[in-house]
Structure 1
Amino acid sequence: MRKIMLAAAVAATVLHGPARSHDLSVQPAEAPAAQPLPIAPNVEGSLPTPEDGYFQVPEQVTEGVWLLRQPRFQVQPIGNVAVIEQADGLVLVDSGGSPGAGRRIVDMVREISPKPVKAVVITHWHGDHPQGLSAILEAWPNARTIATVQTQTHLVTPATMNTPGAPDPARNAAFQQQIQGFVGYIRQMGANARTDYGRANWAAGERLMNQYALDMDGALTLPVQEGVADRLVIDDAERPVEVLYLGRANTDGDAVIWLPRQRIVAAGDIVVHPFPYGFGSYPGEWIETFGRLKALGFETLIPGHGPVLQGTAYVDQVIAALEDVRAQVTPLAEAGVPLDQIMSRTDFSAQRTGFVGEDPWQTRWFNDFWLQPIVTAAYREARGEPIIQSLNPG
């Protein structure tokens, strides 16, 4: 039976079903730098508090460059949005994960600068990056829309995306029903948690998903106008922007946005913090793409999720994790070991500790967002099987 998945970042939970029985917890919430915009509650249950960290908040990276990001990791993440000021307007990198997020992004961008948005670059097709585009184009209808040619194709392919390109009440209702199913799952997990800490974190997850239901009502996946095969330049005297395709990595069409004068790179989900996401990825080619990314000589990196990073230390950590997965999985796959036996015959405890320490909540999501999908991808890669690029698996 076909499943409509909530977004790329929740794919593992929806597909793999019930979570593990151990109690789950998170680190204390980081307080956001600004209050979220009020949204009238019209769903059963509570909505996120500022401390939950669901709402993106702005922070300045350097002169003329800002980042809009969620202050902490979420069960339903929203992709980072970078704002780059040029002489005649603003360039956005990604658009948020829903129409509701897009509307909040519009307000934050207007607080940052009175200049119009002149271009929006979508780094890849996962829903938490392009689905705010409708709200942004409503505010700035003349903005250019740009992605790699691969992502451009995915955004107009119903087999890939989980929201329609035009209003479709039936699909919207089905998607809302899927969200409510996940809310019920989260509520049950909270009821089964064994500590106050675990119950509090599942309750926060329920609040986030209630807001997500509001934010995604009527969501569309819009096409982009311009497809980039290898390089496109949005020129400017102070902050020229290069849109690059360096190779397959987290998806088959990841765009990298390079500011050569500022030595800043926005890498989309090629780099995600505090741990990577592995859905539908290309482990071996990802390592090669990292080599080309590092060759740019960046000093500052804006990831697809998480805070601004300096230098290459975290990139090197992800490269080491990819190499570890391939080293352990490839010989087993080539020997014919079934995929469902791979996890029991491998040991990824060292990289798990390196990314999330001993925290059981983040360990659970590390397993679901990174380890299980990247092991599957490495297995398929070793056996010469295709990597699935879809939010709508059969």
Structure 2
Amino acid sequence: MRVIAAFFTLLCLTIGLNAHADDKLPPVVMELIKVSEHVYYVQGAPGAATQNHGFISNAAVIVTDEGVILFDTLGTPALAQLFLQKLKKVTDKPVKKVIVSHYHADHIYGLQVFKDLGAEIIAPAGAEEYLNSENAETLLASRRADLAPWVNADTRLVKPDRYVDGNEEITLGGVTLKLIFNGKAHSDGDQSVLVEPDGVLLIGDLIFEGRVPFVGDANTKIWLERLKDMAQGKLTAMVPGHGPMSKKPQEVIKTTVQYIEFLRETMGKAVEDMTPFDEAYAATDWGDFIHLPAFEEANRRNAYQVYLSLEQEGMQ
């Protein structure tokens, strides 16, 4: 009886410890989805940045015989810990490098988890503009309130070990990755990754699959150029910054190109004709895009940002 009682006590203690550990992880559904021989990804839920405990973006994994390379690290350290937990189910190899698509909060607040494990952080040139801005600290303070306890006083901005300002190749464990420097497209600095042996493109936030993209202060002219360049490649699959992966990358890219081109054409004409934004927006037929998720939340703001940016282009 004493042996049984001791066993029962140990079992309860173990369950209690596991439950306590789980309390430190966000209660979200996160699945590591296999894309190809070397590539997996996790897909965040559609929604605003502070919804779903911050799990609204994607992150990808490249598994090799010599170690793991990550592409982005999600929007909170707690999500990154859960991501790491999922990763350990498919490989026991260490995380050697993290390639950052761009420095927006929903992709980078998990960086500290992997930096503390010794991973090299590689970011696109231009990201330093965000890191050195007042907005970076202001947003972090805001997220500490909106995403507590997952973003807290221990959450910090992690600077990269190096910046990339052009295309380059990285090979680990016989797997070659092509880093594609996109410059100032969606953000102050963007990059994508082509996993060459698999033909898989990790494109970052140049694509929001299945929804209206977030334009923000993007340079839509460069954004379009980069998308059109990538559409020429021979790809087997593409993992976007938001939304599900696609086995038909060219079709997905085409949809985003059409949306951004429409914004530039309609708002460009309004700027040229000196039509006030509110009048121009109300007169525009949004019928081809109004059915897309996040249209109500994002489209008007996107149109306004493009309107302002085209005014600036016209002054140059």
Change (3 A) 1:228 1:176: closer
1:101-158 superposed Cα distances (whole Å, 9 cap, x missing partner): 11111211222211100000110111000110112222x22x1100111114423433
Alpha-carbon contact 1:127-1:161 (below 8 Å) kept:
no
Residue 237 of structure 1, CA deviation: 5.5
Tell me: CA distance 1:40–1:260, structure 2 relative to 1, closer, same or farther (3 Å): closer
Match of 1:69 in 2: 43
Taking the aligned partners of 2:158 and 2:132, their CA distance within structure 1 comes to 7
Greater RCO, CA 8 A, separation 6+? 1
Partner Cα separation in structure 2 for residue 78 and residue 347 of structure 1: 29
Matches within 5 A, 1:152-167: 152-162=128-138
Give the 5 Å matches for 1:273-312. 273-275=209-211, 276-311=213-248, 312=250
Specify the code of the residue in structure 2 equivalent to 1:157: S
Deviates more, 1:228-237 or 1:259-268: 228-237
Q: 1:223 to 1:55 in 2, by over 3 A?
A: farther
CA distance in 2, matches of 1:372, 1:160: 24
Answer with 1 or 2: which has the greater Rg. 2
Tell me the residue number matched to 1:372: 300
**Which has more strand, going by share of residues?**
2
Q: Deviation digits for residues 178-227 of structure 1, max 9, x if unmatched?
A: x2xxxxxxxxxxxxxxxxxxxxxxxxxxxxxxxx3221123211100110
Q: 1:89 aligns with which of 47, 67, 71?
A: 67
- Aligned pair partner of 2:207 in 247, 257, 271: 271
Q: Does 1:330 align with 2:261?
A: no
Identity of aligned residues (%): 20
Would you say the 8 A contact 1:99–1:132 is kept in 2? yes
Paired AA for residue 251 in structure 2? A
**Is the Cα contact below 8 Å between 2:192 and 2:204 reproduced in 1?**
yes
Report what 1:110 is aligned to.
88
- Determine helix, strand or coil for the equivalent of 2:23: coil
User: In structure 1, which of residues 197, 212, 215 is the aligned counterpart of residue 150 of structure 2?
Assistant: 215
Q: Any residues of structure 2 matched to 1:158-307 within 5 Å, and which?
A: 158-162=134-138, 171=141, 175-177=143-145, 179=146, 212-218=147-153, 219-236=155-172, 238-275=174-211, 276-307=213-244
Q: Secondary structure at the match of 1:251?
A: coil
Q: Which residue of 1 aligns with 2:22?
A: 38
**What TM-score, normalized to structure 2?**
0.83
Write the deviation string for residues 10-58 of structure 1: whole angstroms up to 9, x where unpaired: xxxxxxxxxxxxxxxxxxxxxxxxxxx83269xxxxx85xxxxx44321
Deviation for aligned residue 1:284:
2.2
Structure 1 segments, 4+ long, off by >4 Å, are none
2:175–2:195 CA contact under 8 A, matched in 1: yes
- Report the alpha carbon displacement of residue 161 of structure 1 after superposing the two structures with TM: 4.9
Structure 1: gaps (5+ residues)? 1-36, 42-46, 49-53, 165-170, 180-211, 357-361, 387-394
Q: Return the offset for 1:163.
A: 5.1
Q: 2:285 aligns with which of 318, 340, 347?
A: 347
Bigger Cα displacement from structure 2, 315-324 vs 332-341: 332-341
Which amino acid in the other structure matches residue 350 of structure 1? D
Q: Relative to 1, partners in 2 of residues 1:175 and 1:288: Cα closer, same or farther, differing over 3 Å?
A: closer
Q: Secondary structure at the match of 2:63?
A: strand
**Does the C-alpha gap of structure 1 residues 368 and 73 become closer, same or farther in structure 2, counting only changes over 3 Å?**
same
Work out the CA distance in 2 between the residues paired with 1:268 and 1:75. Answer: 17
> Any conservation in 2 of the 1:163–1:220 contact (CA below 8 Å)?
no
SS of match in other structure, 2:22: coil
Please point out which of 128, 148, 159 is paired with 2:124: 148
* Aligned residue type for 1:329: M
- Displacement after TM superposition at 1:372 (Å): 2.1
Q: Distance in 1 between matches of 2:136 and 2:152?
A: 19
The answer to whether the 8 Å contact 2:202/2:239 transfers is yes
Q: TM-score, normalised to structure 1's length?
A: 0.67
User: What corresponds to 2:17 in structure 1?
Assistant: none
Q: What amino acid does structure 1 have at the position aligned with 2:92?
A: P
Match of 1:317 among 237, 249, 255: 255
